[in-house]
């Protein structure tokens, strides 16, 4: 899996940024406001929130918004070291399957932090997405 240790300080920075992003969510249909924040290989943090749509399937999850924002701001060499996701209601919030695949593209060694019914969990992306798809 390779070593990718995330300090307690970086973990807290990520959770704080994700919490702030959840407040900016556009979720009038589900009322489930989600925030995500990622730490890059160069130490920057980028955040995103879910953006829903009246045509439900067009909704963009918070994690993908964070990834796309990072690339839009910093370019395609993005390396995701870690990502935290949460929702404003403090309910369990593991990343969905589509977001796992998108995170894996830029962070095959990423550590993911998310709330479960048993409290915060930390998992390697490959634990959440075994055999992630790659073209090369």
Task: Write out the residues near ligand THU by the rule CB under 6 A.
Answer: 27, 30, 32, 34, 50, 52, 59, 61-63, 95-96, 99
| Residue 8 vs 58, nearer CB to ligand THU | 58
Least distance from ligand THU to the Cβ atom of residue 41, Å: 23
Least distance from ligand THU to the Cβ atom of residue 106, Å: 16
| Six-digit token string for 7 | 């300090």
Active site residue 105: no
Rounded to 5°, angle at Cα 82 from 79 and 40: 35
Least distance from ligand THU to the Cβ atom of residue 119, Å: 18
Q: Which of 9, 12, 63, 131 is catalytic?
A: 63
The answer to whether the Cα torsion of 28, 72, 114, 13 is positive or negative is: negative
| Residue 62 vs 70, nearer CB to ligand THU | 62
| Six-digit token string for 102 | 């998108």
| Residue 32 vs 68, nearer CB to ligand THU | 32
* Distance from C-alpha of 77 to C-alpha of 32, rounded to nearest angstrom: 31
* Beta strands, E only, 1-136: 34-40, 45-49, 80-87, 111-116, 119-124
| Six-digit token string for 60 | 């963009």
Residue numbers annotated as active site: 63
């Amino acid at each position: 899996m390779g070593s990718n240790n995330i300090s307690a300080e970086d973990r807290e920075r990520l959770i704080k940024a994700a919490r702030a992003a959840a407040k900016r969510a556009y979720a009038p249909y589900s009322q489930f406001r989600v925030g995500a924040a990622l730490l890059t290989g160069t130490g920057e943090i980028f955040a995103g929130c879910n953006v829903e749509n009246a045509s439900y399937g067009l909704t963009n999850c918070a994690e993908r918004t964070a990834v796309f924002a990072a690339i839009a701001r910093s370019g395609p060499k993005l390396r995701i070291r870690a990502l935290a996701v949460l929702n404003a209601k403090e309910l369990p919030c593991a990343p969905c399957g589509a977001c796992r695949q998108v995170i894996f593209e830029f962070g095959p060694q990423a550590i993911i932090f998310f709330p479960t019914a048993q409290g915060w969990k930390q998992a390697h992306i490959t634990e959440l997405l075994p055999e992630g798809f790659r073209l090369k």
